[in-house]
Structure 1
Amino acid sequence: MEQILLTPFIPRFCSTFSHHSASKPTIQDRILLFPTTRTIMCSTSVGGEDPIAQWILTQGKTSKIIQISPVAGGCINHAYRYRTDSGSFFVKKNRSIGTAMFEGEALGLRSMHSTNTIRVPQPFKVGELPGGGSYIIMEFIEFGSSNSRDGQDSQSVLGRKLGDMHKAGKSEKGFGFAVQNTIGSTPQINTWCSDWIEFYAEHRLGYQLNLAMENFGDSAIYEKGLRLTKNMRPLFEGVLIEPCLLHGDLWSGNISCDENGEPLILDPACYYGHNEAEFGMSWCAGFGTSFYDSYFQVMPKQVGFHTRIGVYKLYHYLNHYNLFGSGYRSSAMSIIDDYLRMLHV
């Protein structure tokens, strides 16, 4: 029997890191090791029933788990830091779902990592938990401060590296992704489609509008939203639209810096789509002028960008409406009404 030190979770920072929070969490909010500890005797032998410990001890190039510490991790999963004698692993668990959500996250992380552009945590293992649920084991990254580097502020570096990822991550299959995944806890349909406007109308806006009808019986937003999806093609006239690899859920809570001050993005909802769709969460991402200036040096801004951005924000406002309730309805309806007036439909 090995002694593993477990640090009890005190959920005092959960509210600052919920999926719908608009404030950027601090390093302490995101990676917390609480000072009050207790030691629990438990087995770390590979024959035990903990598949996470089994994988770490057999495949993780380590021989001993020293400490398991809960860390702040949002409102969907429970997150932990597994300290070992050769480093740490980051683990997320969910007792309510199968492996599909974490498999989608792992594929997204691998896809972004393969572009060799911006840092993301590398996923190692997805599996089932005894008694139900699933887990993902990934690289543990120490967060650092977003200090200026080589005369460039962190926003500028982030914009350039995100542009590099969009430029490098291309798909020959069109718009979509190899698996269905989730946006928050909402299913995200990624069936391949050769036409971006059709894909976005059906699998993004249309799916969320159907959910709003199912969840709330909201016929007003459903009917007006469908009118928009059927008449929004003029917004894209003359626009070059290529399938770019998107993070898909890029808000302040999913952006940080590593210990060297390099940009880091995590918790993706990846798919291949129009690069402008990446800014649908810009209303709570905190992107500044230097970010956009650097990004558009890599991915040039196209005519009508500011006119179209509301269509991409609408997807996320609708998702927040479906996830968190009526507080987001007015923002979604306002966007729909503005476009219906603009398009005279």
Structure 2
Amino acid sequence: MVASVGLVSLFSCSHLKPSSLRWFSSTTHKPKPSAIVGISDDLVREWILKEGKATKIIRISPVGGGCINLAGRYDTDVGSFFVKSNRSIGPSMFEGEALGLRLMYETKTIRVPRPFKVGSLPGGGSFIIMEFIEFGASRNNQSVLGRQLAEMHKAGKSDKGFGFDVDNTIGSTPQVNTWTFDWVEFYAEHRLSYQLKLAREQYGDSVIYEKGQRLAKNLKPLFENVVVEPCLLHGDLWSGNVSSDKNGDPVILDPACYYGHNEAEFGMSWCAGFGGSFYNSYFEVMPKQPGFEKRRDLYMLYHYLNHYNLFGSGYRSSAMSIIDDYLQMLQV
């Protein structure tokens, strides 16, 4: 049985990626059985029965999903597979997700659903097949989560600098991951400035744009005496993307991966519920660097701006407050 966990925090944080509810089975919110037909049975069945090594598919059942992607569980004689599809989006979105999942999986540090296949649907659209993980009834162990996440950051390194081999999405917002050797430049240009431009284009918000750009151009003092190495980040680590398997071990899913400063992983901490045991365990593996507390809000700013662009003005004041505080601190 897939546990129905985390639903309250999912909706309170309002950070719904197209597939962010995909793992949660709820008796009060399930797609109609006919929806599963939209996953293009023929292509999925063909892969499962050939590459997936199954000899028969026992049952196909819908999984409570997000508002864009269809989701289904395929039970077979060799185990279960999880399948998502989207009739209007090409395979690039799922390819980005699969690459991130594969790289995290290969670190052998923290459990993630193993991706198996991304494909195009006839007539347009795409699908992804991955491991189906049965969730346990309890939430993750914070101490173990902190340690395993730090081990993933320590193991997942890049010699290309900061970025990722593909662009992906943060929520439904494009996330640009152009390789850059300087972290401050990468974060200023491809994270803060990108979101600020979206806010100006979408809302005509020249105030937050101009103030935010002043901040983006003056970040270096926040990184004095700090060594920043490119670490593999989940990129969207909030409560809805963290759970536990039936053995109680942490599971992270729905990534927006890239290689970045390890501290940027805590940018969604306002919506993740990380406690003291999480941070204590994390910093035992990845020691805290000078100025960590001063940079925490900087990394939250990216996600507040993204929420502003996705969900509207309710998030503007939080973003604006962070920008104003940093401008005052840095005296720029």
TM-score (norm 1): 0.86
Instruction: Give distance in 2, aligned partners of 1:326 and 1:133.
Output: 32
Among 295, 304, 308, the residue aligned to 2:282: 295
Aligned residue pairs total 319
Q: In the TM superposition, what whole-angstrom CA distance separates every residue of 1:283-309 from its partner, at most 9, and x where no partner exists?
A: 000000000000000000111111101
Alignment CA distance shift 1:103-1:19 (3 Å): farther
* 1:209 to 2:235 alignment: no
Q: Indicate the SS of the match to 2:217.
A: helix
Alignment CA distance shift 1:301-1:339 (3 Å): same
Q: Which runs of 5+ in 2 are unaligned?
A: 1-5
Deviation at 1:133, TM superposition (A): 1.2
* 1:59 to 2:51 alignment: yes
Amino acid at match of 1:291: F
Amino acid at match of 1:263: P
Amino acid at match of 2:320: M
* 1:341 to 2:332 alignment: no
Query: Which residue of the partner structure matches residue 252 of structure 1?
Result: 239
Amino acid at match of 1:198: E
**Any conservation in 2 of the 1:179–1:190 contact (CA below 8 Å)?**
yes
Percent identity (aligned): 70
- Superposed, 1:239-318 pairs within 5 Å as 239-318=226-305
Query: Which residue of the partner structure matches residue 158 of structure 2?
Result: 171
Q: In the TM superposition, what whole-angstrom CA distance separates every residue of 1:46-71 from its partner, at most 9, and x where no partner exists?
A: xx972112211221111222322221
Instruction: Give distance in 1, aligned partners of 2:31 and 2:183.
Output: 52
Instruction: Give distance in 1, aligned partners of 2:15 and 2:92.
Output: 28
Q: In the TM superposition, what whole-angstrom CA distance separates every residue of 1:264-285 from its partner, at most 9, and x where no partner exists?
A: 1011011100000000000000
Q: Indicate the SS of the match to 1:50.
A: helix
Alignment CA distance shift 1:197-1:65 (3 Å): same
Q: Indicate the SS of the match to 1:144.
A: coil
Among 87, 99, 108, the residue aligned to 1:116: 108
Query: Which residue of the partner structure matches residue 216 of structure 2?
Result: 229
Among 64, 71, 86, the residue aligned to 1:94: 86
Between 80-89 and 200-209, the greater mean CA deviation after superposition: 80-89
Deviation at 1:73, TM superposition (A): 3.0
- Root mean square deviation, CA, Å: 2.6
Deviation at 1:21, TM superposition (A): 3.3
Alignment CA distance shift 1:93-1:17 (3 Å): farther
Query: Which residue of the partner structure matches residue 73 of structure 2?
Result: 81
* 1:331 to 2:331 alignment: no
Q: Considering only CA atoms, is the larger Rg found in Structure 1 or Structure 2?
A: 1
Instruction: Give distance in 1, aligned partners of 2:32 and 2:242.
Output: 32
Among 187, 193, 197, the residue aligned to 2:174: 187
Q: Indicate the SS of the match to 1:303.
A: coil
Alignment CA distance shift 1:316-1:29 (3 Å): same
* 1:31 to 2:24 alignment: yes
Among 14, 18, 21, the residue aligned to 2:14: 21
Amino acid at match of 1:69: S
Instruction: Give distance in 1, aligned partners of 2:32 and 2:93.
Output: 32
Alignment CA distance shift 1:87-1:226 (3 Å): same
Instruction: Give distance in 2, aligned partners of 1:143 and 1:22.
Output: 21
Amino acid at match of 1:179: V
Alignment CA distance shift 1:22-1:101 (3 Å): closer
Instruction: Give distance in 1, aligned partners of 2:225 and 2:68.
Output: 40
Instruction: Give distance in 2, aligned partners of 1:129 and 1:106.
Output: 17
Instruction: Give distance in 2, aligned partners of 1:262 and 1:37.
Output: 28
Q: In the TM superposition, what whole-angstrom CA distance separates every residue of 1:92-135 from its partner, at most 9, and x where no partner exists?
A: 11122111110000000111111110011000000112222111
